[in-house]
Structure 1
Amino acid sequence: MGALVFGVLPLGLLGLGAPIFVVLLIATCAGMLFIGDIPLRAVHTAIFGSLDVFSLLAIPLFILAGDIMARGGIARRLIELILAMIGGVRGSMPMATVASAAAFGAMSGSSVACVAAIGKLTIPALEKGGYTRIFSVSLITATGVIDVIIPPSIPMIIYAIAAQQSASELFLAGIVPGLVVAAALAGYVYLHARWHNIAIGARPRWSQIRVAARGAIWAVLAPAIVLGGIYGGVFTPTEAAGVACVYAIVVSVFLYREMTLAQVWQVTLESCVLVAQIMIIVAAAGAYSWLITTSGFPARLVEGIASLQLETWMLLLAINLILLCVGSVLEPPAAILVMAPLLTPIAHQAGLNPLHFGIIVTVNLAVGMFMPPFGLNLFAAHAIFGTPLPRLYRGVVPFFVIYLMILMLLTYVPALTLAPMALYR
């Protein structure tokens, strides 16, 4: 009965197109009816208790900070500096696009925001430099998910809450994977430019770099303040998110003067819509996770998988396949809240480091965001840039293969994830 309620029923409802929070609430109600005599008061406690978490405050604050930075000139100036610095080599423009996405990820953590903010600035320049429309849109669709991996990452915060891990340590574990992804993508676009004989861009001029650096100094300080403050022990990730909001408002309104206070208020209202969508899922998932735990289903699932006597590498491969499929139909926050109660006991039983496993989960769900045919970034790029989905599906295939190779590397070489934490400690 547990497999039917916690597995078949949610999948069936998702297939019918039900919203994820409705799916979770219906599964919770079904579990209350068929699994055991559970008082309604306990469900209320689980729902509100899931929202009464201090670190959860980081999510709306980082979303707001990212939106203000994208519209207030901070992201644009950072991109202009990167574009001014990278030149004189083949593939410099798409390399700058990858670097811009990584830099934006260090300030925001929202993948769709990255696709919109970075794409609108770089795609015209890519096409002017000789790259096709489909390559340009596919590039930003794939590089946008770096924001899920590079800290501060909203999915990482949610995983830290769901798996009861340190968000700061999870951020630290995500630095090397994010840089590996960026380096692999940069290598591919260089080879692509050579293969298609794309003309080499103009060499950077110190005068251009100086002008761009002067304008971007406040933008460069944004990720330095956020990440430096966290790892320097000045403030927690939640406090860092609040600092990022204040910093973004001060710089955008009073220094760059590209936003008014009225526009900040409008951006805040728009961010609240996205925050509300996430929080209602978190609340519903709180009841769902509590019911799964109290029903004993995870323990039975662990016992069932243990009876198969799978080797660790086979278990990890199976988990990767499951997460890729889930990540292609659910946004990372929702996918983590649904899957974490089921998978973390299995990972613990297999002796996996919980932070390493958190990175595996995060990278899988990041890849799922642009995995055909249902990846969220695919639909976002289609809506923003008007690229037909069939062409976009074909365009992201090389990037998808690269991400899969990196995913396998991160899965089976834990040192890439855990080494920075050993140095930090």
Structure 2
Amino acid sequence: MTIAVVLIFLMLLFVGFDVGFTMVASSYISILTGVREVNGTVMPLQIVAGVDKYVLVGIPLFILTGEIMNRGGLTERLIEWALSLLGHMRGALSQVSLLTNLLMAGVSGSGAADAAATGRIMIPAMKREGYNEGYAGAVIAAGAMLGPIIPPSVPMIVYAAMANVSVIRLFLAGVLPGILLFVGFVAICAMQPKKNSGYCRPKASLAMRGRATLVALPVLSLPIVVLGGMRFGIVTDTEAAAVAAVWALIVSMVLSRKLTAGGVYEATRDAGISAAAILFLLAAAGPLAWIIAESRINLQIADAISTISVNPLIVLIVINLLLLLVGCFLEPLPAMIVFLPTLVPIGDNLGVDPIHFGMIVLLNLMIGMLTPPVGLLLFVSGAAGEVSVAQIIRRIWPFVLWSLVVLIAVVLIPGLSLWVPQHVG
């Protein structure tokens, strides 16, 4: 790819051109202006190759599961269960929001979907109890960040497809980092001043907790069904996504009876729209990845980064700084699609386990979802709770700081991401 094409790519992104169309346009210009002649049929072939991966079938199915849960009243069941456990604690509603997002993360795989689902319910509730609205939005945004880290995860599926690694091993690698993030976020909420702590409810009796658990049990069992089925070889990762969607559909229509035929249509429509946007990006990345490989620009970038130091840790720090910067301006999926073809070979050359490297990439880009100017979760939380994004930004920094601490720990201690896959996967 020539310098001119790279500049065109960056210019189109800067003026707000869609990332997918930018990749297609840049690839086509590169083919037209290339030094050696390339048959134009390579474009449609590489576009098809970009999505011709069986593992990607799981993306629309996991998104559909989340949409069904939101419309079938299953999110409310999780909130009531979390409230029965944590309602007596300081900052009860913020703690409930985080626990609900942790459980939602084990089902939907999408941070944006989790933020929209819980934000519509929890942010107004927190505001009614006197919580600062910016803080309420920040709690929802931080909790929703767990969605792509705790399995299952749509970005993990994309990474696994692009880096050719095991989806189930990558899913399991997110368990410990996700728990660390959750514990730190809970501690941040517990240390908030009284004006951000609402009021404490009476401690629920064991009978009340038992009833709430029984009502929420069909939802609580869903992550166990998904991960357990994959772990013991009962279903593949794609079949597990289908099982999750069918399970959520049955629970929503038969047990909660809140999901109508119209709701099924709306959930399917919205899931299709979201999945189409993701898969279009992957398709558009096909010819771009091919051109990068053909021009060997990825090897040149890898060589440039590698010459910074012979110490693998220094090179990893440079990669982390690059990804943190990229995450401030690009959403995770476009960033992965653009940069993974270059970064994955660098990780291989450094001798970094591809699962460990995948968690490093994902954590960096998920932190970007909490930071301006793009910060997708900031905008989704603000829209869901009708809160100014500027107010959320002022309150998000303690959560970002803890996320950076977890990132550093994962980089320095590979076992945090590799222990579970090695002993369970």
Return the TM-score normalized by structure 2: 0.95
Where does residue 239 of structure 1 map in the other structure?
239
Partner of 1:150: 150
- Bigger mean CA deviation after superposition, 22-31 or 242-251: 22-31
Deviations 1:327-384 (A, max 9, x none): 2332222211111001111111111111111001111111111201221112212222
Q: Give secondary structure in 2 for the equivalent of 1:148.
A: coil
One-letter amino acid matched to 2:203: R
**Residue 301 of structure 1 corresponds to which residue in structure 2?**
301
Alpha-carbon separation, structure 1, partners of 2:92 and 2:384: 24
Q: Who is 1:419 aligned against?
A: 419
AA in 2 matched with 1:378: L
Point out where structure 2 has 5 or more consecutive residues left out of the alignment: none
Contact persistence 2:23–2:284 (CA under 8 A):
yes
Greater Cα shift, 15-24 or 220-229 = 220-229
Taking the aligned partners of 2:195 and 2:343, their CA distance within structure 1 comes to 42
Pick closer, same or farther for the CA change 1:248–1:228 going to 2, 3 Å: same
Answer yes or no: is the 8 Å Cα contact 2:28–2:43 preserved in 1: no
Which amino acid counterpart does residue 265 of structure 1 have in structure 2? Y
Correspondence for 1:258: 258
| Distance in 2, Cα, partners of 1:307 & 1:205 | 62
Q: Map residues 26-425 of structure 1 onto 2, 5 A cutoff.
A: 26-32=25-31, 33-193=33-193, 199-424=199-424
Cα pair 2:369 2:377 within 8 Å, conserved: yes
| Runs of at least 5 residues in structure 1 that lack an aligned partner in the other structure | none
Assess, with a 3 A threshold, how the Cα gap between structure 1 residues 35 and 20 changes in structure 2: closer, same or farther: farther
- Aligned Cα root-mean-square deviation (Å): 1.9
Contact 1:91–1:193, Cα closer than 8 Å, also in 2: no
Structure 1 residue 232: Cα displacement: 2.0
Superposition deviation, residue 393 in structure 1: 1.5
User: CA, structure 1 residues 47+78, in 2 after alignment: closer, same or farther (shift >3 Å)?
Assistant: same
Deviation sequence 1:376-422 (CA, Å, 0-9, x none)? 11221222222222222211112111111111111221110111122
Which residue in the other structure is 1:21 paired with? 20
Q: Counterparts of 1:393 and 1:123 in 2: how far apart (Å)?
A: 15
| Larger CA deviation: 260-269 vs 189-198 | 189-198
Q: Alignment partner of 2:44: what SS? A: helix
Secondary structure of 2:227's counterpart equals helix
User: Residue 263 and residue 166 in structure 1: after superposition, are their counterparts in 2 closer, same or farther (change >3 A)?
Assistant: same
| Structure 1 residues 323 and 308: alpha-carbon distance in aligned structure 2, compared to 1, 3 A threshold | closer
**Greater alpha carbon shift after TM alignment, 125-134 vs 374-383:** 125-134
* Contact map agreement 1:369 1:375 (CA 8 A) in 2: yes
**What is the letter of the counterpart of residue 313 of structure 1?**
L
Matched residue of 2:233: which SS? coil
* CA shift for structure 1 position 92: 3.2
Q: Is contact 1:126–1:136 with CA below 8 Å preserved after alignment? A: yes
| Corresponding residue SS for 1:192 | coil
| Stretch moving more, 26-35 or 136-145 | 26-35
CA distance in 2, matches of 1:410, 1:303: 25
Is the 1:90–1:201 Cα contact (8 Å) retained in structure 2?
no
Q: Measure how far apart 1:183 and its partner are.
A: 0.7
Tell me, in whole angstroms, the C-alpha distance in 1 between the residues paired with 2:46 and 2:180. Answer: 38
Amino acid at match of 1:355: I
1:174-215, Cα deviation, whole Å (9 max, x unpaired): 111111100110111111157967654421222321331232
Shift of 1:61: 0.6
Amino acid at match of 2:17: A
Residue 155 of structure 1 deviates from its aligned partner by: 0.2
What does the per-residue CA deviation read over 1:30-61, in whole Å, with 9 as the maximum and x for residues that have no partner?
32223532222233221112222110100011
**C-alpha distance in 2 between matches for 1:197 and 1:98:** 14
Partner of 2:9: 10
Secondary structure of the residue aligned to 1:227 is helix
8 Å Cα contact 2:134/2:388 also seen in 1: no
